[in-house]
Amino acid sequence: MSELRKMTDWSKLRDMVESTRLDDKSRKVDETKLLDHLNSRVKGQDEVIKDVAKLINLSWRKQERTRPICSMLFLGPTGTGKTELAKALTEYLYGSEKDMLRFDCSELSSPDMAKSRLTGSSSGYKDSESGGQLTRPMMANPRRLVLFDEIEKAHPLVFDLLLQLMGDGRLTEQSSGKTADFTQAIVVLTSNAIADEVGKAVEGLTDYHEIVNAVKTLLAEHGTFRPEILGRIDKVYMFKPLQGMIIAEIALLKIERLAKEYGLTVEFIAPELLMQALEANMKVSKFGIRELERILFDKFASHMVEMREKRAKAVSFDIDEGGQIVCRYQGPPETPGPKK
């Protein structure tokens, strides 16, 4: 201890520690920076993003929680940015997209899979020692975003678990009897159920509370969500269909991200090439932005691989008279040769 005494001003340190709640640092979110981050990744949903950033900021600051930080329902057509927003939130708030637990609810439609996959098999059953795919990771790291994609496809047993999770902030693993804590987590449900009907129901409404009430009433009457589930959700957000320049901007973001995966940066892309991709996407527009991502991969990935083999660092994509891609690249700086 005598050696440690020399390492700092202990009297000053004690005063600083006693006058500061250290855990406050983890209870604050810079709303402006969060908003900038979300806007850099999600396009065409400005109103949603602004309100989500505000909700996160207010909810994150609570000193005591008995429920998740917040529970949100993202509604809208496929490929409008619902899952992308969840990823962006995870990256900013928890440090990495890897801290998101994502469940495709079409895989949770049977009673056996619904409960055993999330909270594990009962003790004595096969694989019971491995625990649940939801509860076990949460025990290891409770600071996560939990995403249930297309929640309307889940078995009713999943909704029973959600009631407990969102209401009490905890779930018990079947095999071990241990409790997973969700009070440091954010819960996001996404759904494209009856998207057209929901859009018509809120048409002409401007007041947020009226919109939410109309949406919740429609979902409950349609049988998509039980009223008690809707009562546990903090906010419901409507995602608008994407059009025009918004899709073009998303295409550029997707190309930039694809290039990064190959260790490249993109300096320029001819507008004609973007239009080719957008026109191809229009033919399969019902699949939304996910199909655009596949189209861009098919169009640019092979060129990027070729450029990496040439040790390129940056690339530009132009178009020739025949409408084909012309790829130019900038290689690494030349190593100076020996002086003569």
Concatenated DSSP letters of 36-95: HHHHHH--S-HHHHHHHHHHHHHHHT-S--SS-SEEEEEESSTTSSHHHHHHHHHHHHHS
Rounded to two decimals, the pTM is: 0.77
Confidence of residue 265 (pLDDT cuts 50, 70, 90): very high
Q: Tens digit of pLDDT for each residue in 84-114?
A: 999 999 999 999 999 999 999 999 988 877 8
Find, among 161, 98, 97, the residue nearest to 135 by Cα.
Answer: 161
Beta strands, E only, 77-221: 100-104, 145-149, 170-172, 179-181, 186-191
Helix (H/G/I), strand (E/B), else coil: 126: coil
Look at residue 24 in the predicted model and tell me its pLDDT: 44
**Is 314 in contact with 265 (CB distance < 8 Å)?**
yes
Q: Tens digit of pLDDT for each residue in 213-261?
A: 788 788 778 777 888 888 899 998 988 888 888 888 989 999 999 999 9
Q: Which residues sit opposite 10 in a β-bridge?
A: none
Q: What is the mean pLDDT of the chain?
A: 85
What's the CATH superfamily of 23-238? P-loop containing nucleotide triphosphate hydrolases (3.40.50.300)
Look at residue 97 in the predicted model and tell me its pLDDT: 94
Confidence of residue 116 (pLDDT cuts 50, 70, 90): confident
Tokens of 305: 């691989």
Average pLDDT of 166-193?
91
Find, among 163, 47, 70, 221, the residue nearest to 213 by Cα.
Answer: 221
Burial of residue 219, with CB atoms counted within 10 A of its CB: 0-12 exposed, 13-18 middle, 19 or more buried: buried
Find, among 79, 76, 75, 58, the residue nearest to 186 by Cα.
Answer: 58
Q: How far apart are the C-alpha atoms of 308 and 314, rounded to whole Å?
A: 9
pLDDT, greater one: 281 or 37: 37
Per-residue pLDDT at 167 exceeds 60:
yes
Q: Tens digit of pLDDT for each residue in 52-82?
A: 999 999 999 888 888 999 999 999 888 889 9
Render 226-279 in DSSP notation, one character per residue.
Answer: -HHHHHH-SEEEEPPPP-HHHHHHHHHHHHHHHHHHTT-EEEEE-HHHHHHHHH
Render 208-233 in DSSP notation, one character per residue.
Answer: HHHHHHHHHHHHHHHTSS-HHHHHH-
Confidence of residue 188 (pLDDT cuts 50, 70, 90): very high
Q: Tens digit of pLDDT for each residue in 120-158?
A: 876 555 555 667 899 999 999 999 999 999 998 999 999
Share above pLDDT 70 across residues of the chain, in percent, rounded to a whole number: 87
Look at residue 192 in the predicted model and tell me its pLDDT: 84
Look at residue 338 in the predicted model and tell me its pLDDT: 54
Look at residue 93 in the predicted model and tell me its pLDDT: 95
Per-residue pLDDT at 45 exceeds 80:
yes
Q: How far apart are the C-alpha atoms of 100 and 143, rounded to whole Å?
A: 9
Q: Point out the least confidently predicted range of 100-109, 114-123, 297-306.
A: 114-123
Per-residue pLDDT at 269 exceeds 70:
yes
